[in-house]
Amino acid sequence: MAQQERAIRTRLAVVEAAARVFAEHGYVAAKVTDILRIAGVTKGALYFHFDSKEALARGVLEEQTSYRPPVQEVKLQEVVDLAMSVAHRLRHDPILRAGARLSADPVGRDHYGSAWSQWVGLLTEILQEAGRRGETLSHVVPREIAELVVGAFNGVQMYAQLETDLADVEYRVSLLLKNLLPSIASPSVLLRLDLAVDRGARLVAEQREERVPASV
């Protein structure tokens, strides 16, 4: 294994271990010694990539928001896809759970920031393009709706986390979208949207297949 590849793997192992610890204990109570143990790396290796707990939190947040849903013909489908794939990944990926918890931490976020602004920025762009294409109703203000979706999504996923340990988070997020989108999308766009509960699972599976090189 080349040295660079090894460094990338170490960094990812550290980010994933940090995500597990942040997701379970929150930022303040998280211990770097636990992160070291779970990642199975030395202190030196960890500090080579991240020189503080703050830097670890920033690393988790960056990893979380690096995801982009695939381009769709109907732009509002990308809003749905972003929400549904994040909902799906919340159940299976500690990086998403840690990102949600870190972003909602009133003490920590003053130090390492929040993922919300990235999500709002991305959704605002998609909604602006949807507006240019005539997909949205005339009263829609892209940034306002983007903030509403991020806020409401976060509350719904937190509700699912605390009440059902995320078992039904995809159902709840799909229900949120089904009840919000008639106020956002024009009727002709509305009936072309796929809001199924398993939409996120299908998207994530497709992207995984794309990453596996085809056998020759």
Residue 211 CB, nearest distance to its own copies (Å)? 32
User: In degrees to the nearest 10, what's the CA dihedral of 101, 88, 91, 6?
Assistant: -80
Footprint on this chain of its own copies (rule: CB under 8 A): 104, 106, 109, 114, 116, 144-145, 147-148, 150-163, 172, 175-176, 178-180, 182-184
A 10 A CB-CB count for 211 gives: 6
Residue 126 carries which DSSP code?
A: H
Report the residue number, 50 or 116, with the smaller CB distance to its own copies. Answer: 116
Report the residue number, 134 or 182, with the smaller CB distance to its own copies. Answer: 182
Residue 74 CB, nearest distance to its own copies (Å)? 19
Note whether 151 and 104 are within 8 A (CB). no
Report the residue number, 11 or 53, with the smaller CB distance to its own copies. Answer: 53
Residue 160 CB, nearest distance to its own copies (Å)? 8
Residue 104 CB, nearest distance to its own copies (Å)? 6
How many residues are given for the chain?
216
Environment class of residue 181 by beta-carbon count within 10 Å: exposed (0-12), middle (13-18) or buried (19+)?
middle
